[in-house]
Amino acid sequence: MIALVLAAGSGRGLEPYTTFVQKETISVVGKPVIRYVVDGLVDAGIDKFVVVVGDKEEQVKEALSGVSIPLTFVRQKRKGIEGAVLDGMSEVDDEVFTLAYGDIVAPPRFYRSLMNAYLEGGKDAVFSLVPVSEGLSTYGLAVIQEGKLKAITNTGSTLALAGAYVIPKGNFDNLLDYFNHLIQRGSNYFVWSGSWVDVGYPEDLIRAVESILSNRATEISEKAYISRTAVIGRGVIVEENAYVDEYAVIKGPAYIGRNVYVGNFSLIRDFTSLEEDSRVGAYAELAHALVQPRADVGSKAYLSFSIIGSSSKIGAGVVASSYPAEVTRSKVEKLGCLISPSRQVPHGKVLEPGYRE
Amino acid sequence: MCGIIGIVSHKEQRASIVASCLRLLEYRGYDSVGIAALDVGKVEVMKTVGGVEDLLKQVDVDSISSSVLVGHTRWATHGMPTFSNAHPHTDCSSKIAVVHNGTITNFDVLKEELTSLGHRFKSETDTEVIPHMMEEWIKKGLTSWEAFKRTVQALNGSYAILAVVSGERRIYFARKDNPLTIGLGKGSNYIASDAEAFVRFTRRVVRLMDGELGYIEADEVRIFDFTGKEIAVGERVMEIGWSPEESGIIGYEHYMLKEIQESPRAVRDTLAGIRFDQVSEAASLIRNSERVLVVGSGTSYHAGLLFGHLLEKEGYDVRTLIASEATTLRPREGDVLISISQSGETLDVLNAVKNHFKKYNIKSISLTNRIESALNFVSDIRLHTRAGPEVGVAATKTFTSQLAALLYLKSLIVGEPTDYLEGAPAAVSNSLSQQGYAKAIGEELCKKSDMFYLGRGMGVPLAMEGALKIKEVAYIHAEAYPAGESKHGPIALISDGFPVFFVNDGERTALLINNLKEMKARRAKTYSVSVNSRIGADEEIYFEGDSSLAPFYISPFLQMVAYFAAVCKGANPDRPRNLAKTVTVE
């Protein structure tokens, strides 16, 4: 079966970061968000992909380099999500295909469940649903009556469309109307109860790190250098050529990517992900933080609930205060900063909660 | 719900291959099993009551081998699980054999017509009309394929059907609202209720849609829709990559969530399947009794408590007893007993009924989810829920189905209309649509080690069931109390953040609010599931609807809280430690 993967959205909830970066290419625990989708679909039996891209086409291509299944890239010309699907569909030959959003972080079983429900449900449309309790207005919600999917609405339910569907080709100008049309004809659904994050806002990225690192066992590459006095806690993944300097404490769960440097006496607390080639100076403290490739966090910096863009430089002693912040889709009222790629935050600066640059 | 497998190959295969496939389908529930193989002159059928192991013990399945084999595990709905009701079913001449999953709603009309044409029926099942009708069409000169198509056209209801005709190396199939998937092998093809049954032999599967029929041969598969249009099989072929054991759940991560999700259907089927004659007989027995004794264990005990509570409100003298302790009560003349057990095999309940109450010659009524069970055998009136098989150890859809059946019975007893129960499936759906909040609460509770569930009136048994569920699957120590009792001791345990879950069915809200304030004053974290009136808990899930349907809003929500707490803890909610689905030891 062929999958149509959408990776052309403007990512408004993550602005200004997404002015520079396609959100599907943001690296989370060692791989770009879109790879979670594509790898999951390959595992579920998808053997061909059409990927709809926007003006950051090259970034998506780069993020998907190394995928062994044939990929066709289609540039989105028409507007909106409907335009993306219609543009992509011109490259889809099959009558029935999988439509997947490129910004979902979920384990492979999520996609396997979709295929299972399609295979055995006896209907030509299958919708994945997921229970949500925060940010309900940001999702399409499913109305279930007597065990049957009845409609997609905006209120009255906490079961959200989960971003991967098997649907037949059709003429649709409005995605929700088309979904409702399929539902009226009879469609199948399943409720996914495992980990699932729709990356739309900064807090989603922080939750994505948490959901991937939860319940992971400690894995330390033989090619990593861990100094004799460093302390490695539970659920810590250290990739090859990472360098953890003297007296650093990686409390975990945490991810230390390839070629990452963690300086002396620094404290890497829970649910922090340091992506490839990033650096954390001495005496720095990070928790619930996502540091993109090649970013540099200065000495004595304190970052929590924060996202640091690739190749950006956070000065020494920078403090990102995270509480109380307004969040859309998280129970935790904390949000530090969202720093776009290649920015420089001056030494000693104190950032207000929810600071974006 | 049943399991179906069919195999056609160039080479003859021993029938034990079917048994091995059926074993993989037993999770779908079974109480009888059967295999059919095509011999030269007729169809050879082997079947028995029980499971695949029972069949293997009773007959030498390998004494037959054939190139065309079908098998079936049956979970009884029409007719008891007896030898004659077990599938496959054959026509008068034993040349056609059929296995079927689903319900033929117009079978009585068809059966009457076929009987008048001289067909002799050997079972009580709805399925048997299919081979006889095929036989009738063949007699009239149609080919077996035409006969099969005509037969399927005449059927109303839901079905996955396989039919074999002696002398032909093919299996006919039809599907509507019941799963059926084809597997493409080399020199052999397969068809089954789910791909798990044949995934050892092939991972190339052909998806069937509702409203399709056709046939498989050893190297050919043909599919048509009901209008006769042929479907291109090639476009449907899929290569599945996942491991077979994951396909059984069909889309869900756990059976427990799937079964909670099936509750609206289970409640509806239970209400639709109620046999009015039996329930009204039970109602009149209770109405004319001096005292009602209700016996159950675990979840069934809680269903019984709720039933007892409702009857007491109507002035009945009711004693609800935990089965293992019930023998301390000496029945009196004029007592009537109602025993409740999901499986009908729970030893504590059986002992109480058989070894204790029966001695006093009191009339007894049973309520089970199995159409024939040990408990039914010792009861004077047998009532059933039709929740379908429940694979997860924790009772979920069977509990809401028990409540539906008991509420129906209670309404007949007190002489009120039962039509309000038509809203029960929708109430359950409504509850399920709040799953997001159940997940959020479950994830909060999974970090706690102890908690309370408090309620008043009808809320007490529901609170007890909520506490039982979270204990069972999420291993959180939970106690349920009548809320009024909480200040007579339990409140001593309340400290900062101690979770207290209020079950508010909307009847005694003012008193519950007082209890809630007492808890809040001691910095407890309060949760509530409320129907028709709010009590102001820190996290309050609120439903509006018919207050007599409150249990159908409350119970599924509490089940989901327990489910998500278990998942958050990393526990397997389908297989809680130390627990068994059917408790058959004292």
* Site from B175, B207, B443 to mutate, A interface, most A CB atoms within 10 angstroms: B207
Task: Look up the CATH number of the domain holding residue A39.
Answer: 3.90.550.10
Residue B493, CA distances (Å) to B452, B477, B522 in order: 10, 13, 10
Chain A / chain B CB contacts < 8 angstroms: 134
Interchain contact A154–B (C-beta under 8 A): no
The answer to whether B393 touches B579, Cβ cutoff 8 Å, is: yes
**Could you tell me the mean pLDDT of each successive run of 10 residues in chain B, 586 residues long?**
89 90 82 80 84 87 89 83 89 94 92 96 94 96 96 94 94 93 95 89 91 95 94 87 63 90 93 92 97 97 98 97 95 96 92 93 94 87 91 94 98 96 96 96 96 97 98 97 94 96 95 96 97 97 96 98 96 89 75
A200, A229, A262: which is the final residue of a domain?
A200
Interchain contact A109–B (C-beta under 8 A): yes
pLDDT of residue A45: 87
pLDDT of residue B245: 58
Judgement on whether residues A187 and A238 belong to the same structural domain of the protein: no
Judgement on whether residues A188 and A230 belong to the same structural domain of the protein: no
Is there a contact between A120 and B194 if contact means CB atoms under 8 Å apart?
yes
Closest chain A C-alpha to B565 CA, distance in angstroms: 11
Closest chain B C-alpha to A332 CA, distance in angstroms: 12
Domain-embedded: residue A277: yes
Judgement on whether residues A190 and A233 belong to the same structural domain of the protein: no
Closest chain B C-alpha to A264 CA, distance in angstroms: 33
User: B-contacting residues of A 69-88, CB under 8 Å?
Assistant: none
A200, A233, A262: which is the final residue of a domain?
A200
Of A133, A156, A188, the CB nearest to B437: A133
Residues of chain A with pLDDT under 70: none
pLDDT of residue B37: 84
Residue in chain A closest to B563 (alpha carbons) equals A193
Instruction: Using alpha carbons, select from B352, B351, B353 the residue that is nearest to residue B381.
Output: B353
A170, A200, A230: which is the final residue of a domain?
A200
pLDDT of residue B248: 60
Closest chain A C-alpha to B567 CA, distance in angstroms: 8
Residue A169, CA distances (Å) to A82, B118, B271, B278, B476 in order: 13, 50, 39, 51, 47
CB contacts, 8 Å: A122 with chain B = 175-180, 208-210
pLDDT in tens, B229-286: 999 998 888 887 766 556 566 778 899 999 999 999 999 999 988 989 999 999 999 9
Judgement on whether residues A134 and A248 belong to the same structural domain of the protein: no
CA dihedral B118, B121, B124, B126 (to 10 degrees): -70
Interchain contact A157–B (C-beta under 8 A): yes
Mean pLDDT, chain A, rounded, equals: 95
Is there a contact between A109 and B253 if contact means CB atoms under 8 Å apart?
yes
CB contacts, 8 Å: B566 with chain A = none
Domain-embedded: residue A105: yes
Q: What is the ipTM of this complex?
A: 0.90
Residue in chain B closest to A113 (alpha carbons) equals B251
The answer to whether A287 touches A269, Cβ cutoff 8 Å, is: yes
Burial class (CB in 10 A: 0-12, 13-18, 19+), B333: exposed
Judgement on whether residues A319 and A234 belong to the same structural domain of the protein: yes
Domain-embedded: residue A205: no
Judgement on whether residues A51 and A195 belong to the same structural domain of the protein: yes
CB contacts, 8 Å: A192 with chain B = 253
Judgement on whether residues A174 and A290 belong to the same structural domain of the protein: no
Instruction: Using alpha carbons, select from B7, B387, B28 the residue that is nearest to residue B179.
Output: B28
List active site positions of B: 2, 581
Residue A276, CA distances (Å) to A144, A218, A219, A295 in order: 44, 18, 16, 9
Judgement on whether residues A49 and A193 belong to the same structural domain of the protein: yes
Is there a contact between B436 and A118 if contact means CB atoms under 8 Å apart?
no
Q: Tell me the residue range of the domain where A184 lies.
A: 2-200
Sheet with B499-504, strands from edge to edge, namely B477-482, B450-455, B499-504, B525-531, B539-543
User: B-contacting residues of A 188-217, CB under 8 Å?
Assistant: 188, 190-194, 215
SS3 per residue for B397-463: HHHHHHHHHHHHHHHHHHCCCCHHHHHHHHHHHHHHCCHHHHHHHHHHHCCCCEEEEEECCCHHHHH
Judgement on whether residues A28 and A176 belong to the same structural domain of the protein: yes
Domain-embedded: residue A207: no
* Buried b / exposed e along A322-336 (16+ C-beta atoms within 10 A): beebebebbebebbb
Domain-embedded: residue A133: yes
Domain-embedded: residue A179: yes
Of B252, B254, B433, the CB nearest to A157: B433
Judgement on whether residues A83 and A125 belong to the same structural domain of the protein: yes
Interchain contact A159–B (C-beta under 8 A): yes
Rounded to whole angstroms, how far apart are CA atoms B506 and A10? 47
pLDDT > 90 fraction of chain B, expressed in percent and rounded: 75
Closest chain B C-alpha to A47 CA, distance in angstroms: 9
Rounded to whole angstroms, how far apart are CA atoms B390 and B395? 7
pLDDT of residue B476: 98
CB contacts, 8 Å: A145 with chain B = 264, 426, 429
Domain-embedded: residue A206: no
The answer to whether B65 touches B15, Cβ cutoff 8 Å, is: yes
Rounded to whole angstroms, how far apart are CA atoms B16 and B12? 12
Judgement on whether residues A168 and A231 belong to the same structural domain of the protein: no
Of A124, A144, A193, the CB nearest to B253: A193
Interchain contact A220–B (C-beta under 8 A): no
pLDDT of residue B337: 97
Distance from CA of residue B221 to its chain's centroid? 33
Rounded to whole angstroms, how far apart are CA atoms A5 and A104? 11
pLDDT of residue B246: 60
DSSP string, A241-269: T-EE-TT-EE-SSEEE-TT-EE-TT-EE-
Q: Which two tokens stand for residue B490?
A: 């339990």
Rounded to whole angstroms, how far apart are CA atoms B148 and B134? 6
Rounded to whole angstroms, how far apart are CA atoms A241 and B245? 38
Residue in chain B closest to A107 (alpha carbons) equals B253
Task: Look up the CATH number of the domain holding residue A298.
Answer: 2.160.10.10
User: How many domains are there within chain A?
Assistant: 2
Domain-embedded: residue A226: yes
- Give residue B524's identity as a one-letter amino acid code: A
Judgement on whether residues A79 and A161 belong to the same structural domain of the protein: yes
CB contacts, 8 Å: B262 with chain A = 147
User: B-contacting residues of A 317-346, CB under 8 Å?
Assistant: 331
Instruction: Using alpha carbons, select from A36, A92, A31, A24 the residue that is nearest to residue A60.
Output: A24
Is there a contact between A158 and B434 if contact means CB atoms under 8 Å apart?
yes
